[in-house]
């Protein structure tokens, strides 16, 4: 643990990341696909001598520069800020193991931003061939940023046996390329490139929809239809790359999707299945709407149509990212680090010595204590106390904050009060016992990390959760005792 916890009321830290990431993915993938769209469209216009196309491409390049260079870059910084707070151990692992990869990506990113600005501001100011070369420079730099980032993102799901063999030894950098070109790298890259091409077409339709179809019927028809065709590669190749990707996903993660598929007939859906179904349905709807409203009737294609299709694309992006994240559960880095930042190599140590004792945020008197009793002052969220009963709840609260709040909130997203509603102290204890033992038969093992710590810490967590779930019972006990006194 790098610091106690990032407590985001109601939303939770994971949801903050998701809300930023959904918009960032939409824009960043457009930055790659649009980077190919612009020079290809400009080359077509120059080859055919179409000044009207060049004016449209220039307008689109301004929209492209503002959206990707401002909102894309800012949301990217937002993701770094959020993941650094929500998962400091995971972020640290990615930075330390891929420090040169990140450095290379940032170099390409600087080239990308610079080329995008030069491309827009040099319209009609430099020779057309040189201007086109600037466009291709941008396209190459943006594609290379995707090539690098994809290796790091796919590593989180499938780091590979070679990298795992040296994980935690300080020799991880010797297996840089083994972790980078992992088993899901190529299918994942193929999927992302296809998404980039589709988003390039969808965002271009926004610009094309604003062309006056009555004044420029030929121009609007050609630009709308040419942009719509950018969805064709995804339509034909996405299923192939998706099956290739699933083939390389570890069996344990693939079972989450298979479980949801096998229970659809019973009306039971896992989160992964729900997300996958939303992706399929929205993607199919997008293709149908683009054909019916854009390709078939380009002159009547309006800005409202384009925005509606973009909204569906946003839903598809959100569901796809959720499915990808859920497939990785319960890991931040597969078979190395759990979603709460605990490494597999630390589980036995924490169970034997205690989870909180190994926290750098305990005071010396707490760390030196063998147990949690009268002599231990526990720092809770708002106060410090030496009262044994309150101190026990404080230990439980620290356990909850350290091991549960990376995914759960008290009231809100994945709320503990909702998930444990109706359970008494014994039932809560049984659930925690299953998580603590983490046996192969555990129903939680596939998507939740093991609960680590001593029996006393686990028991204290049970008391704390019981105080959250059954506060009325806790308040009623002193009153009952008082009424029984003579």
Sign of CA pseudo-dihedral 62, 64, 66, 69 = negative
340: in domain: no
- Give which of 137, 135, 145 is closest to 24, Cα–Cα: 145
273: in domain: no
- Give which of 123, 146, 143, 145 is closest to 134, Cα–Cα: 123
214: in domain: yes
242 with 191: CB under 8 angstroms? yes
Give the angle 113-106-43 at the CA atoms, nearest 5°.
40
Q: Are residues 247 and 352 in the same domain?
A: no
298: in domain: no
- Give which of 25, 8, 106 is closest to 316, Cα–Cα: 25
Token couple for 69: 């260079």
Counting Cβ atoms within 10 Å, is residue 25 exposed (0-12), middle (13-18) or buried (19+)?
A: buried
356 with 473: CB under 8 angstroms? no
Q: Are residues 74 and 199 in the same domain?
A: yes
User: How many structural domains comprise the chain?
Assistant: 2
Q: Are residues 235 and 359 in the same domain?
A: no
Q: Are residues 220 and 360 in the same domain?
A: no
Domain boundary at 253, 280, 297, which?
A: 253
The H helix count followed by the E strand count for the chain is: 21, 4
382: in domain: yes
Domain boundary at 221, 253, 285, which?
A: 253
Largest CA distance in the chain: 102
Which phi and psi angles does 214 have, rounded to 5°? -80, -40
CA distance 170 to 28: 33
In the block, tokens 């605990």 appear at 342
- Give which of 148, 156, 71 is closest to 109, Cα–Cα: 148
Question: pTM for the whole thing?
Answer: 0.89
100 with 176: CB under 8 angstroms? yes
CA distance 122 to 132: 10
66: in domain: yes
Q: Are residues 98 and 224 in the same domain?
A: yes
Q: Are residues 208 and 349 in the same domain?
A: no
Domain boundary at 253, 276, 301, which?
A: 253
Q: Are residues 249 and 363 in the same domain?
A: no
Residue range(s) defining the domain that contains residue 109:
13-253
Q: Are residues 111 and 228 in the same domain?
A: yes
Q: Are residues 69 and 210 in the same domain?
A: yes
- The count of other CB atoms within 10 Å of the CB of residue 65 is 17
306: in domain: no
Task: Per residue of the chain (486 residues), give pLDDT as tens.
Answer: 456 678 898 999 989 999 999 999 999 999 999 999 999 999 999 999 999 999 999 999 999 999 999 999 999 999 999 999 999 999 999 999 999 999 999 999 999 999 999 999 999 999 999 999 999 999 999 999 999 999 999 999 999 999 999 998 888 889 999 999 999 999 999 999 999 999 999 999 999 999 999 999 999 999 999 999 999 999 999 999 999 998 999 888 777 666 655 555 555 556 777 788 889 999 999 999 999 999 999 999 999 999 999 999 999 999 998 888 888 889 999 999 999 999 999 999 999 988 988 877 666 655 554 354 433 444 444 445 455 677 788 888 889 998 999 899 999 989 999 999 999 999 999 999 999 999 999 988 888 999 999 999 999 999 999 999 998 765 544 444 333 333
Q: Are residues 246 and 357 in the same domain?
A: no
Number of residues that this document lists for the chain: 486
DSSP string of 274-286? HHHHHHHHHHHHH
Token couple for 293: 């409203």
Q: Are residues 75 and 202 in the same domain?
A: yes
CA distance 422 to 429: 13
Strand partners for 100: none
CA distance 354 to 362: 12
Token couple for 72: 């894309």
Residue 268: the pLDDT is: 52
| CATH number (domain holding residue 383) | 1.10.760
DSSP string of 186-239? HHHHHHHHHHHHHHHHHHHHHHHHTS-TTTSHHHHHHHHHHHHGGGHHHHHHHH
Q: What does the DSSP 8-state code read for residue 449?
A: P
463: in domain: yes
Q: Are residues 214 and 89 in the same domain?
A: yes
């Amino acid at each position: 643990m790098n610091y106690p916890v990032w407590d985001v009321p109601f939303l939770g830290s994971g949801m903050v990341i998701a809300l930023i990431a959904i918009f960032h993915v939409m824009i960043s993938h457009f930055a790659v696909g649009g980077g190919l769209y612009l020079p290809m469209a400009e080359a077509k216009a120059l080859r055919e001598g179409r000044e009207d196309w060049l004016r449209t491409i220039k307008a689109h390049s301004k929209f492209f520069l503002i959206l990707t260079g401002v909102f894309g870059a800012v949301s990217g910084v937002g993701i770094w800020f959020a993941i650094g707070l929500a998962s400091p151990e995971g972020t640290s692992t990615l930075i330390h193991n891929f420090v040169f990869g990140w450095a290379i990506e940032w170099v390409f990113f600087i080239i990308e931003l610079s080329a995008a600005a030069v491309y827009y501001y040099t319209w009609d100011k430099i020779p057309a061939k040189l201007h086109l070369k600037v466009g291709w420079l941008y396209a190459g730099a943006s594609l290379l940023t995707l090539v690098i980032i994809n290796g790091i993102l796919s590593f989180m799901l499938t780091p590979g046996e070679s990298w795992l063999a040296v994980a935690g030894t300080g020799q991880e950098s010797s297996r840089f390329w083994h972790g980078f070109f992992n088993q899901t790298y190529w299918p994942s890259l193929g999927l992302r490139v296809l998404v980039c091409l589709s988003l390039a077409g969808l965002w271009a339709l926004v610009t094309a929809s604003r062309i006056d179809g009555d004044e420029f019927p030929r121009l609007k028809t050609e630009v709308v239809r040419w942009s719509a065709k950018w969805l064709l590669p995804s339509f034909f190749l996405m299923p192939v790359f998706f099956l290739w990707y699933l083939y390389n996903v570890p069996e344990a993660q693939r079972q989450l999707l298979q479980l949801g598929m096998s229970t659809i007939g019973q009306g039971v859906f896992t989160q992964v299945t729900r997300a996958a179904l939303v992706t399929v349905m929205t993607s199919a709807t997008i293709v149908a709407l683009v054909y019916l409203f854009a390709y078939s009737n380009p002159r009547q294609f309006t800005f409202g149509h384009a925005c509606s299709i973009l909204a569906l694309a946003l839903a598809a992006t959100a569901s796809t990212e959720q499915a990808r994240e859920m497939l990785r559960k319960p890991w931040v880095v597969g078979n190395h680090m759990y979603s709460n930042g605990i490494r597999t190599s630390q589980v036995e140590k924490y169970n034997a010595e205690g989870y909180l004792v190994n926290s750098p945020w305990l005071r010396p008197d707490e760390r030196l204590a063998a147990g949690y009793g009268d002599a231990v002052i526990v720092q809770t969220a708002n106060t410090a106390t030496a009262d044994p009963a309150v101190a026990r709840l404080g230990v439980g609260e620290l356990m909850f904050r350290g091991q549960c709040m990376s995914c759960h909130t008290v009231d809100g997203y994945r709320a503990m009060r909702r998930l444990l509603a109706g359970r008494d102290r014994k039932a809560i204890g049984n659930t925690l016992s299953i998580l603590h033992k983490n046996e192969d038969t555990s129903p939680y093992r596939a998507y939740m990390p093991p609960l680590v710590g001593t029996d006393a810490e686990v028991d204290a967590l049970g008391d704390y959760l019981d105080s959250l779930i059954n506060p009325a019972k806790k308040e009623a006990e002193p009153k009952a005792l008082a009424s029984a006194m003579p």
